[in-house]
Structure 1
């Protein structure tokens, strides 16, 4: 495995085997059920090596598998997205075949069987649970969980495919490399929802075409309840569904109301409130006690310090470090 500094720490679990049956059992356990049709071992047998970690209900795995293998998947519900680093990997459904090149991504369709053929692959695989995808899809488009289906294993475009790989790479280096950040409920919640939202944007699915119309109007009282809920719970993981429930309206209706009356979205307002709380903490902190900008930013769920600094300067006219010093 390369990038040892990224995959270091006890929260990254390593596994290796040269036994073919054990390798297939690992695939079934870690990703999805499969029926193996052919497996041709190399000089080192199956040659399976992995390093993996989990963020709540999301699993990410760097995998190298040297054996030539043909298999068929069984529908499992969860989403497995593969980013190919090197090797040969082809997925097919009927006569539709997709041969990945280095750097490309593919989705193992969760609702129907597929054929896969791979040989000496090095890949980064993310497994996202169905329940999380349904939650995020519903909050974005109003689609019900039962109606969420993915239509293709190809990304909508090469650009969006690269967006997935960049997003996952950034989160791996900035969040999954640090157990303390992974244990932070705000950061973990934001990371989970970001990955699910990215998957929904990258691969064709029914939520993109939902076009659900808002049901009813949001009263001023309901909007105030939504704002109050966010203000009172900014230090906790927050979803659009939770805010909508507190306001007593449909999630899609709430999204439109925030656009119409606040010129923002509920989650952008959450970020705005957290930025304000970080500002207050920076003003009140004594740098002589060892408090740092990084500590305060991470407390409020900001993992990308460069973006935090940019947003902070735009909002308050100075850098976070200047506020802390003065």
Structure 2
């Protein structure tokens, strides 16, 4: 699949300008508010070229900017993760300076002003809203939104930095390449939460160290309430926080209860239920009327057909296509 194919479709918008002020205005609109200290245009002016889209409240863009620019970011609250593909990019906060090489990822700290100096950059940027990060961090660790902080632009490790790149690349080539998938609330919700969970795992933050000393006990009745809520809302992208609210317990406590009593997680349980619904649809559908495995899998939030087929065979002992035919 070529880069042009990845960024094709009406849901991907394009913008280009050689005017410096317009280029800076675009950066402020799509990424983060900045105070420009210096901008040295090349022979073609600012040389900004970008393609961008929205996955609900998550912003994604591929941007090439040729001008030499020095700026200071303004604290925004939202999280911006940049994958450096080429060019020169340096970020500094106080005495801590981080020089990116092609292939590196960096976090523009959401709660701090950061000095940035770049020249002729090609980057892939993801902007995650603060509310989404707080929701996912609370469900995973129990930390409150006010206590969630990111203090370093560097990934925890080079391996986790590569994991971020692989996750974004996978979503770009699957969900973000298909307007219908992006419009599917179940799939869009899963993609948003995957990005937030990955960011929380990749970059140092207070949620990584959060420990709940007393997550609370979950009764069998509360666990059944959570499971019933999943059964009734399988067509939506459910969060652990929603399931916990329905059960009347804390998210962390619900996670521990699922592991202790069901040997799974709330998210994995919801996926299992969606697999069951897909199985029922495959049994009830007639391929001669145009029904396909891909259509049914997508309906229940499974975007990777090969992985769906593998998991389906592991559960039911046959392929989804065989179930549909018979």
TM-score bin (small chain)? over 0.9
Provide TM-score, normalisation by structure 2: 0.99
SS at match of 1:4: helix
Once the two structures are TM-superposed, the CA of residue 310 in structure 1 deviates from its matched residue by 1.1
Match of 2:228 in 1: 228
Between stretches 306-315 and 59-68, larger displacement belongs to: 306-315
SS at match of 2:4: coil
- Summarize the alignment of residues 178-197 of structure 1 with structure 2, pairs less than 5 Å apart: 178-197=178-197
Per-residue deviation, residues 106-145 of structure 1 (Å, max 9, x unmatched): 0000001111010000010000000000000000000000
Provide TM-score, normalisation by structure 1: 0.99
Residue 74, structure 1, aligned to residue 74, structure 2: yes
SS at match of 2:295: helix
Residue 136, structure 1, aligned to residue 132, structure 2: no
Once the two structures are TM-superposed, the CA of residue 305 in structure 1 deviates from its matched residue by 1.1
Match of 2:17 in 1: 17
Distance 1:133 1:231 in 2: 26
Match of 2:108 in 1: 108
SS at match of 2:204: coil
- Summarize the alignment of residues 55-94 of structure 1 with structure 2, pairs less than 5 Å apart: 55-94=55-94
Gaps of 5+ in 1: none
Match of 2:95 in 1: 95
Match of 2:289 in 1: 289
Distance 1:212 1:116 in 2: 37
Distance 1:154 1:83 in 2: 12
SS at match of 1:139: helix
- Summarize the alignment of residues 1-326 of structure 1 with structure 2, pairs less than 5 Å apart: 3-326=3-326
Once the two structures are TM-superposed, the CA of residue 86 in structure 1 deviates from its matched residue by 0.4
SS at match of 1:140: helix
**8 Å contact kept, 1:214–1:252:** no
Distance 2:103 2:322 in 1: 41
Once the two structures are TM-superposed, the CA of residue 216 in structure 1 deviates from its matched residue by 2.3
Pairwise CA RMSD: 0.8
